[in-house]
Amino acid sequence: MTPDLGLSSGSAPELDADGLAALTLRLGGDAVDVRASKGHAWEGSGGLRALRAAGVRVCFVGHSTVLGRPGSPPADPAWLEDGLPVKVFAAEGCTAPEHRDRTRRQIAALAAASGGPGNVLVETHHGYAPVPELRRLCEETGVRLLLDTLGLARIHPDPVAAAAELAPWISYAQVKGFDPGAPGTGGHLPLEGSRAAWTGEVLAAAGELRAVTVESRAGALDGDLAVLRDLYRTPATAAAPGPGFREETAP
């Protein structure tokens, strides 16, 4: 199965729903992921309905909820739908005895709103659960994973091996351009050269994915989507730019 390809709203947080969809289509993508309650313009400009009406698939909505963490904010009910995956984080220790019940209650609430634990996506992210615990969480609760390439590189010394280990539970991927040899230095670099090859290795190890999106403010989204199309050998679309379209976003 060839995954849908596209952009994260974090790549163009200033664009409204129509503009984000138009940019994605213009660059050859067909899907978006969006972040809620973070000030991105898609929220106040028609939201999910406007994005879909403009011709893109919404892969998932990201929230600030951290599984297993006391006092973590719940997901915004305005952006919860049956059948729409919800992306969250998982605290290190979320499967420990003292946090397990809280984690399961949070997952149950998210699953009830989104259509089941398989629609609860936990991001591989620095500062949160390590790879062994992510695997244990998936095995015990049925949640799935969002592969964040930078996040995985910052929590495991061999991201390709880690992606292969977690592959049975990875549904989506969000790629970020960065120096694979020094992930701690940050991201927002164009996906090209060695970064493109490395990204391809990690995505291949992750197995079959439903969608792959780019989160970047490096001003190279056209090239970034071209890299993904090349990796999956998909042609570019020829959609015309719509309201709010910008060729590049500011770093």
pLDDT digits (tens, 9 = 90+) for 109-145: 999 999 999 999 999 999 999 999 999 999 999 999 9
Q: What is the mean pLDDT of the chain?
A: 93
- Which CATH number belongs to the domain containing residue 63 in this structure? 3.20.20.150
Residue 94 lies in a domain: yes
Closest CA to 163 of 200, 203, 215, 118: 203
The dihedral built from the CA positions of residue 157, 160, 162 and 165, taken in this order, carries a sign that is: negative
Residue 194 lies in a domain: yes
- Give the domain extent around 226: 4-232
Average pLDDT over residues 188-217: 96
pLDDT exceeds 50 at position 238? no
pLDDT exceeds 50 at position 249? no
Average pLDDT over residues 81-105: 98
pLDDT tens-digit readout, 3-62: 999 999 999 999 999 999 999 999 999 999 999 999 999 999 999 999 999 999 999 999
pLDDT exceeds 90 at position 251? no
Show the 3-state SS of the chain: CCCEEEEEHHHCCCCCHHHHHHHHHHCCCCEEEEECCCCCHHHHCCHHHHHHHCCCEEEEEEEEEEECCCCCCCCCHHHCCCCCCEEEEECCCCCCHHHHHHHHHHHHHHHHHHCCHHHEEEECCCCCCCHHHHHHHHHHHCCEEEEEHHHHHHHCCCHHHHHHHHHHHEEEEEECCCCCCCHHHCCCCCCCHHHHHHHHHHHHHHCCCCEEEECCCCCCHHHHHHHHHHHHCCCCCCCCCCCCCCCCCCC
Tally of domains within the chain: 1
Q: Which has the higher per-residue pLDDT, 30 or 247?
A: 30
Residue 202 lies in a domain: yes
Q: Is the pTM of this model over 0.75?
A: yes
pLDDT exceeds 90 at position 190? yes
Q: Tell me, what's the pLDDT at 244? A: 30
Residue 80 lies in a domain: yes
Could you tell me the pLDDT band of residue 95, with boundaries at 50, 70 and 90? Answer: very high
Q: Terminal CA-to-CA distance of the chain, rounded, Å?
A: 33
Residue 121 lies in a domain: yes
Residue 156 lies in a domain: yes
Q: How far apart, in Å, are the Cα atoms of 214 and each of 43, 80, 175, 205?
A: 19, 22, 5, 18
Could you tell me the pLDDT band of residue 235, with boundaries at 50, 70 and 90? Answer: confident
